Amino acid sequence: MSNVGYSDPKSARVGFGEWLELFDRVPDELIERYHYYGNGEAWSKYLFPPQTFAIYGARHLRRLKFDNSLAALRMWGFVQNETERLFRARQTGRRVIATMGDLGAVPVIVNSFPGCVAFYPDCIWWTPFVMESRVLFDAAAELGIGDATCFSRAALGAFSKHSYFPDPDLVIASTGASCDDYSGVEQLAERFAQQMLWVEEPMRCRAEPTEPMVRLLVKEYERVVDTMTKLTGHELTEDELRAGIRCANAVRKTVARLRELAYGSGALPALEMMVVEFGNLHYYSDIAEWTAVLEHLLATAEERAATGERVLNEDGLRVVWVTPPADPLLLSYVEDAGARVVGTEYVINQALEVIDETKPGLEAVAESFMAASLIGTSEARAESVIRQARERQAEGVIISGILGGSHCAMETRLISDVVKQELDLPVLEFDVAPPSNEVGRQLQTRIDAFLEVLRSRR
Amino acid sequence: MELIPRATFEQIRHERVEEIAAARRQGAKVVGYFCIYAPVELVQASGAIPVRLMRGGHAAEEAGERYLRADACSFCSACMGNFELAPVYKQADAVLSVNTCDMMRRLPEAIERHFGVPVFQLYMPRTSEPLPHRLAGFRRQLEHLAGGLLGLTGSAAGVERLESEITAFNRLRDMLRQASDTRRADSPLLSGGTMLDIEATAWLLGPVKSLSLIEEVLRMVAARPRQEGRKPRLMLGGSMLTEDDRWLLDLVEEKADIVTDILCTGTRWFAEDVPADGMSLDRLARFYFSRPCMHRRPNTDLYRYTQTLVRDFRVQGLVYKTLLYCDPWNFEARRLQEALGIPMLHLDTDYSTENREQVRTRVEAFLETL
């Protein structure tokens, strides 16, 4: 599709102010082109510059560095207006289903039901950082979850505020071999749920095949289907579920290619890639439009790869990032300091797996979930890090954690030890600080010193 | 005046650890476990000696921080430290760990890595609704565990032996219930501190050897006249109170009676018997699956259990002692207080000893309000 005369400038990471200037050059026709929910109404437009969202409180956008392509602008606009989109979903008669905890599997089933939109309150964990505000943490504290725990507690605050997403028609809360923090959030969020379905997430046992756990999970997913059927009055067919799986796979395959291009050759920055990877969870509440956004990004990245143009210095210090940073500014900072993210372990392996389209739908979804990052051992996570580090010849590993996060407390040191032992690579471990308008000076020094070490080892 | 001095319990436990060490030298295998979900009947029926690892302690916590981050829960850190420090931990030929909370699920990996102690990890669903496929999945885990124990001891847990152990442990549960129930009366003679000692000792001695001890306690309770005057009747809540936390119970019981608890190291283990109907493993699966705990989802059963205890034991206040970074119990403090509608003191601490006078002040202030 033509860009009506608009062409991307030479690829670069740009700041907030430069984006405003670039946006001025975007033709109106392009702005009019992009709508969510496949709808041509004026209310469903989303191609706005970061300034629009900063005005509504997303102050952190003023400090981040963005990819300067039209595709990236489109992505940010789409992602940033998800709250509005969820309220519109309710207004336009869609069922809004909160899926919690499993990070990737249940929305494949939910979205296969006509007129249903799944979303993860879990992803609200970025909101306090993007807004530079403690409001959601304070709300969570009033309900019993104080500071010494994971930032995912923001989701509980969001439930209590009733303004970050519409009150869901159904909450599907997955728990089991999962982190304690979020399981606790789910339990306390139950009071806000009109209806809550608890779903078991089995553990991936080392000494056993995964097959029995897959069978258990299929039974759990049958409960999801039953509950959704009662809610919607619609009997889900196997064909509908398979169609849902194909849509999810289209996203997952595109993201896999984007990972190759971005982490392999620096075609996209780490910040945009984090947003892209997390899109695999629930597609920012509109899978069709998200797929189109990703295809746009992929076309940009492919073109850069073909022309040898890079948004990041290919010679940057190659690092693998473990556990997603709640503060996105960290990714901008690390790239500014001369590093390039070449691999990630963002606790969402299950959402990156392509689902087997030849098997019965629920079984295939369950099998893909068994690749989940957090249901197995820390050693398994470490192996994933090692595999990526070897593949991309990483020079160091960064593990960002959260003070009080249950899995961070237990596995950070173990992953670090295994990586050092296997690869002899420097590892930087740190806890992300609470929301702020800058990366703390002490942490800046630690990151700078770490990168200096990597540089000196060349 | 305690019914049985604390030192007596300590001596009994010390002797038992020596006995276990001697048994190991003769080829016996010891399986350490942490929480109420460990199917001890199965361990014992496999010919191994089940030993509950329930030590805390500041020195152990500090030692454990070499292996885990400082924001791991104090019990997990202390566990790591106690594998270096505590004689009973050093007797463990294997560890049986049930994936209850996330930290306890991950602890065995650290134990295995740093101390080379093999681990049996038992997966139990966190969701509490006893759906057939969940129970079947848990039962299969028990079978898997039985296979692992056979590999350790060379002895299979046959049906007869398992039935015998279920009966023996049910008898122990019954005796512990009787002891605990003496606290329903006004001015109970059995203190919360002694009850904790009895439990800790029973979990070390096993079901046969501990019966005579509990019978003796019951005889003493029956024979001794009740003290005059009434003190506030309290419940203890929270996750693990270990042998090393006895100081807190002593402090509280200077001015109050601890009459019941919802601790991981307390009444929830013996509140009911393993049911009588069905195949042995099915019964064990049903029993352990249905133990209420704060980490289960939803945790309605624990709330119900707690409310029943508050009513039956005429509880006037709750001392809710959580460990730093223990999310499942910490998060629920406020909600629990709302649900119970009785005064509550929430103490959230690690195992350090420096804060004891502050804790004393808070406990005394709390008791004054009662």
Is the CB of residue A280 less than 8 Å from the CB of residue A274? no
B102 and A180 in contact by Cβ < 8 A?
yes
pLDDT surpassing 80 at residue A134: yes
CATH of the domain at B150: 3.40.50.11890
- CA separation for the pair B73, B42 (Å, rounded): 28
pLDDT recorded at residue A342: 98
pLDDT surpassing 80 at residue A94: yes
Q: Which residues pair with A14 in a beta bridge?
A: A66
A378 and B103 in contact by Cβ < 8 A?
no
Is the CB of residue A322 less than 8 Å from the CB of residue A399? yes
pLDDT recorded at residue B185: 93
Average pLDDT over residues B118-140: 97
pLDDT recorded at residue B57: 96
Nearest to B73 by CA among B327, B321, B266: B327
pLDDT recorded at residue B44: 98
Q: From its phi and psi, is residue B39 left (phi > 0), alpha (psi between -120 and 50) or beta? A: beta
A410 and B68 in contact by Cβ < 8 A?
yes
Q: Which residues pair with A401 in a beta bridge?
A: A431
- Read off the tokens for A381: 């996570």
Q: Distance (Å) from the C-alpha of residue B304 to the closest C-alpha of chain A?
A: 16
Give the Å distances, CA to CA, from A63 to A96, B60, B287.
Answer: 32, 45, 56
- CA separation for the pair A231, A246 (Å, rounded): 24
Of A179, A208, A409, the CB nearest to B71: A409
Is the CB of residue B252 less than 8 Å from the CB of residue B234? yes
Record the pTM.
0.97
Mutate to test the interface with A, among B297, B323, B325, B329 (most CBs of A within 10 A): B297
Q: Which helix (H) or strand (E) holds A435?
A: none
A173 and B297 in contact by Cβ < 8 A?
yes
Please list every residue in chain B whose beta carbon sits closer than 8 Å to the beta carbon of residue A190. 298
Whether A93-234 shares its CATH topology with A313-345+377-458 is answered: yes
CATH of segment(s) A313-345+377-458: 3.40.50.11900
- What is the number of helices (H) and of strands (E) in chain A? 20, 10
Average pLDDT over residues B175-192: 96
Taking CA atoms, what residue in A is nearest to B129? A198
Please list every residue in chain A whose beta carbon sits closer than 8 Å to the beta carbon of residue B76. 410
Average pLDDT over residues B273-302: 97
Peptide bond into B225 cis (omega under 30): no
Of B101, B325, B335, the CB nearest to A144: B335
A202 and B73 in contact by Cβ < 8 A?
no
Q: Distance (Å) from the C-alpha of residue A212 to the closest C-alpha of chain B?
A: 8
B106 and A407 in contact by Cβ < 8 A?
yes
Nearest to A430 by CA among A453, A448, A452, A457: A448
- CA separation for the pair B315, B297 (Å, rounded): 26
Number of structural domains found in chain B: 1
pLDDT recorded at residue A438: 95
Radius of gyration for chain A, computed over Cα atoms and rounded to the nearest angstrom: 21
- Who contacts B344 (Cβ-Cβ below 8 Å, separation ≥6)? B317, B318, B319, B320, B333, B336, B337
Please list every residue in chain A whose beta carbon sits closer than 8 Å to the beta carbon of residue B103. 180, 406, 409-410
pLDDT recorded at residue A209: 87
Q: Distance (Å) from the C-alpha of residue B170 to the closest C-alpha of chain A?
A: 29
- Read off the tokens for A378: 């820390």
Q: Distance (Å) from the C-alpha of residue B137 to the closest C-alpha of chain A?
A: 7
B155 located within any domain? yes
The band of A443, judged by pLDDT with boundaries at 50, 70 and 90, is: very high
pLDDT recorded at residue A406: 87
- CA separation for the pair B124, A176 (Å, rounded): 8
Please state the domain extents for chain A.
93-234, 313-345+377-458
Is the CB of residue B370 less than 8 Å from the CB of residue B316? yes
Chain A within 8 Å of B144 (Cβ-Cβ)? yes
Mutate to test the interface with A, among B77, B97, B99, B102 (most CBs of A within 10 A): B102
Q: In this structure, are strands A13-14 and A66-67 parallel, antiparallel, or unpaired?
A: antiparallel
Q: How many CB atoms lie within 10 A of CB B346?
A: 19
pLDDT surpassing 90 at residue A3: no
Residue B269 carries which DSSP code?
G
Which amino acid belongs to residue A432? Answer: V
B364 located within any domain? no
pLDDT recorded at residue A129: 98
Give the lowest-confidence range in A135-149, A350-364, B224-238, B336-350. B224-238
pLDDT surpassing 80 at residue A321: yes
B107 located within any domain? yes
Please list every residue in chain B whose beta carbon sits closer than 8 Å to the beta carbon of residue A377. 106, 109
Beta strands in A79-169 (DSSP E): 95-100, 116-119
Average pLDDT over residues A397-408: 92
Q: Distance (Å) from the C-alpha of residue A217 to the closest C-alpha of chain B?
A: 9
Residues within 8 A of B (CB atoms), A 84-143 only:
143
- Who contacts B311 (Cβ-Cβ below 8 Å, separation ≥6)? none
B139 located within any domain? yes
Please list every residue in chain A whose beta carbon sits closer than 8 Å to the beta carbon of residue B289. none
- CA separation for the pair A416, A399 (Å, rounded): 8
B123 and A410 in contact by Cβ < 8 A?
no
Is the CB of residue A270 less than 8 Å from the CB of residue A321? yes
Which amino acid belongs to residue A318? Answer: R
Of B133, B325, B334, the CB nearest to A219: B133
Of A149, A188, A208, the CB nearest to B335: A188
B244 located within any domain? no
Range of the structural domain that residue B66 is part of: 29-160
Which amino acid belongs to residue A425? Answer: L
Taking CA atoms, what residue in B is nearest to A218? B133
pLDDT surpassing 70 at residue A1: no
Q: Which ipTM score applies to this complex? A: 0.96
- Read off the tokens for B230: 């009434």
Residues within 8 A of B (CB atoms), A 161-200 only:
173, 175-181, 183-188, 190, 196, 198-200
- Who contacts B293 (Cβ-Cβ below 8 Å, separation ≥6)? B36, B37, B100, B264, B268, B299, B302, B328
Residue with tokens 């009947």: B41
B191 located within any domain? no
Domain A93-234 has CATH 3.40.50.11890: yes
Taking CA atoms, what residue in A is nearest to B74? A409
pLDDT surpassing 90 at residue B225: no
pLDDT recorded at residue A297: 98
Chain A within 8 Å of B140 (Cβ-Cβ)? yes
Give the Å distances, CA to CA, from B255 to A230, B6, B234.
Answer: 55, 19, 10
Average pLDDT over residues A325-341: 97
Average pLDDT over residues B337-361: 96
Of B72, B103, B298, the CB nearest to A187: B298
B207 located within any domain? no
Helix A238-265 / helix A270-282 crossing angle, nearest 10 deg: 170
B94 located within any domain? yes
- Who contacts A292 (Cβ-Cβ below 8 Å, separation ≥6)? none
pLDDT recorded at residue B1: 67
A178 and B125 in contact by Cβ < 8 A?
no
Taking CA atoms, what residue in B is nearest to A418? B113
pLDDT surpassing 90 at residue A314: no
pLDDT surpassing 90 at residue A206: no
